[in-house]
Amino acid sequence: MPDNIPKMIPANAIDEGTVPWKTLIVSGIIFGIMLIITAVIALGYKPILATSIKRNETRIAELDSVAPKAETEAKFIRFYSQLSNISILLSSHTSLIPVFDAFEANTMDRVGLVSMSINVEDRRIDVSALADSFETLAGQIALYENISGADKITLYSSALTDKLINFKLKGEFSPVFFKFTPVIKQQIEQSTEQAISSEQ
């Protein structure tokens, strides 16, 4: 028995060839486990990741195709500006039906309207009509002059045709008669400038 070996350890318990084999076996098992894990990652998890990446790239491409382009946004802004201008126009004007109603209510039974032209900007109405006599014509002019908002009624043409008086007159009216808003042009310009600035 060698002197340097403690006495509490039996001499037959030490086998010089046993320790390297155990280490080699443990190392082989660890290497095998690592090899299996690497193979699983390479053959299984990596394709899953690649598929997931491709799926996400496809979704991003779809979202990019759906997202509005700069040209589309500019067209939408111009369209919205037009709608805004129309809204201003509609809010600034009332229907012309009351104008026709006012003329119809103040037109004598013996007078027949042939045509009527309305110019809101100039606040002017041109009327072409037929009357059965000059007395009826004079009474008709007086009725038009009594319309609320009438500034001036002018007869500029009259002629006897087939026993009827063919006459034309023009009427000038106050802005209240049309409920006309003079600042509408300014409102439209401001709305257009806002739309252009938002495009930039």
What tens digit of pLDDT does each residue of 134-180 get? 999 999 999 999 888 889 999 988 998 888 999 999 999 988 787 64
pLDDT digits (tens, 9 = 90+) for 30-48: 888 888 888 777 776 677 7
Query: pTM score, two decimals?
Result: 0.44
Q: What is the CATH number of domain 94-178?
A: 3.30.1360.100
Instruction: Report the alpha-carbon distance of residue 91 to residue 119 in Å, rounded.
Output: 19
pLDDT band at 92 (very low <50, low <70, confident <90, very high): low
Other CB atoms within 10 A of residue 95 CB? 10
**Pairing status of strand 150-161 against strand 124-131:** unpaired
Instruction: Report the alpha-carbon distance of residue 191 to residue 83 in Å, rounded.
Output: 10
Say how far residue 71 (Cα) sits from the centre of its chain: 14
